[in-house]
């Protein structure tokens, strides 16, 4: 069985490619390299440079590599940018998916795994977010992920395509330093950047109804996330016609203040914190229920927050050696 991983040269995508090949699954990568890095793709894994919007390129890749399953991770994913460029996000994330699904069904591919997001939930007022929690996304990015789920599930019902929509929570860490996230858009690298500059890490709001006043999130190690994709691929292969929608998280909440305290401890850099006003649309708490993923896949996360931060810091130091000096 050969799996096409779209966006497989990206941060998360490269980890999924690594996990699948180490599990003995054949992989081929489709990536337009707009944010992906070709060197992340392992030796022996074919790299097709192209966009999911290019129907001919996609169809050729499916045929030439005899693809039998797809993991679709190629997408634009910055919430703020999506607010500023909603048409761009709908074109890349929704139209790109439609073109891909059309090619997949025409080629007779049997399994499809869609990279979704906890952003589909918006601001859930619950202790644990289950897959039945109502979806009310707050940004065009979240809307495109929810629309993508609808499109994937509808295609599965109409064609018999086995599908899985995986809702990622907050991803951090790295399997190896060279696979670390190079962007500075999420909490961990944003704090790393401030510490490297000798500046104070920012907390956006410290007056939430949480134990320490800061937002609480569910953080998942990218290695665990990648292993969840392997388990999903095998589940779809074993049971044709399945339609899964699963949260991929640890089921444990960690506050922003707790994360920063752990970052200080791991890195050895200690800076006073600066409190900024709340950001619009930031919910107080978003923590996954991971029970369904455990039941359906036999999968459970293995790494804790300390593992995530330690591995992410090693990757940061590879690109920013000056950060090793306090």
The answer to whether 306 and 266 have CB atoms below 8 angstroms apart is yes
The pairing of beta strand 69-72 with beta strand 47-49: unpaired
Integer Cα distance of 16 and 288 in angstroms: 21
The residue written with tokens 């495109």 in the block is: 144
The residues, ordered by sequence, that sit 6+ positions from 283 with a Cβ below 8 Å of its Cβ are 122, 123, 124, 215
Known active-site residue 89: no
Q: Smallest Cα–Cα separation from 21: which of 36, 41, 49?
A: 41
Sign of the torsion formed by the C-alpha atoms of 292, 294, 295 and 297: positive
Residue 169 C-alpha from the chain's centroid: 7
The residues, ordered by sequence, that sit 6+ positions from 115 with a Cβ below 8 Å of its Cβ are 7, 12, 71, 72, 73, 75, 166, 168
The pairing of beta strand 285-286 with beta strand 243-248: unpaired
Q: How many CB atoms lie within 10 A of CB 224?
A: 22
Residue 215 C-alpha from the chain's centroid: 20
Integer Cα distance of 147 and 275 in angstroms: 35
Task: Spot the catalytic one: 141, 168, 208, 219.
Answer: 141
Active site residues: 141
């Amino acid at each position: 069985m050969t799996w096409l991983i779209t966006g497989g040269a990206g941060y998360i995508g490269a980890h999924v490619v690594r996990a699948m090949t180490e599990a003995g699954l054949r992989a081929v990568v489709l990536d337009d390299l707009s944010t992906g890095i070709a060197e992340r793709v392992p030796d022996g894994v074919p790299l097709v440079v192209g966009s999911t919007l290019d129907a001919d390129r996609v169809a050729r890749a499916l045929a030439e590599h005899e693809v039998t399953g797809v993991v679709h991770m190629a997408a634009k994913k910055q919430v703020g940018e999506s607010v500023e460029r909603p048409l761009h996000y709908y074109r890349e994330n929704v139209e790109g998916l439609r073109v891909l699904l059309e090619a997949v069904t025409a080629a007779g591919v049997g399994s499809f795994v869609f990279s979704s997001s906890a952003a589909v939930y918006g601001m859930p007022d619950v202790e644990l977010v289950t897959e039945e929690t109502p979806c009310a996304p707050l940004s065009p990015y979240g809307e495109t992920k929810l629309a993508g789920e609808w499109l994937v599930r509808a295609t599965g019902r109409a064609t018999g395509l086995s599908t899985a929509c995986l809702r990622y929570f907050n991803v951090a860490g790295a399997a190896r330093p060279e696979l670390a996230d190079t962007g500075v858009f999420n909490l961990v690298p944003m704090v790393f950047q401030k510490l490297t500059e000798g500046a104070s890490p920012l907390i956006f709001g410290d007056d939430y109804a949480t134990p320490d006043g800061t937002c609480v999130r569910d953080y998942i190690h990218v290695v665990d996330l990648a292993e969840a994709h392997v388990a999903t691929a095998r589940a779809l292969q074993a049971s044709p016609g399945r339609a899964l929608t699963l949260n991929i998280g640890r089921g444990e909440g960690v506050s922003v203040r707790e994360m920063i305290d752990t970052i200080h401890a791991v890195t050895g850099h200690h800076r006073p914190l600066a409190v900024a006003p709340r950001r619009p649309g930031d919910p107080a708490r978003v923590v996954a229920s991971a029970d369904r993923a455990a039941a359906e896949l036999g999968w459970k996360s293995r790494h804790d927050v300390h593992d995530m931060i330690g591995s992410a810091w090693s990757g940061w130091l590879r690109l920013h050696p000056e950060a090793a000096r306090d």
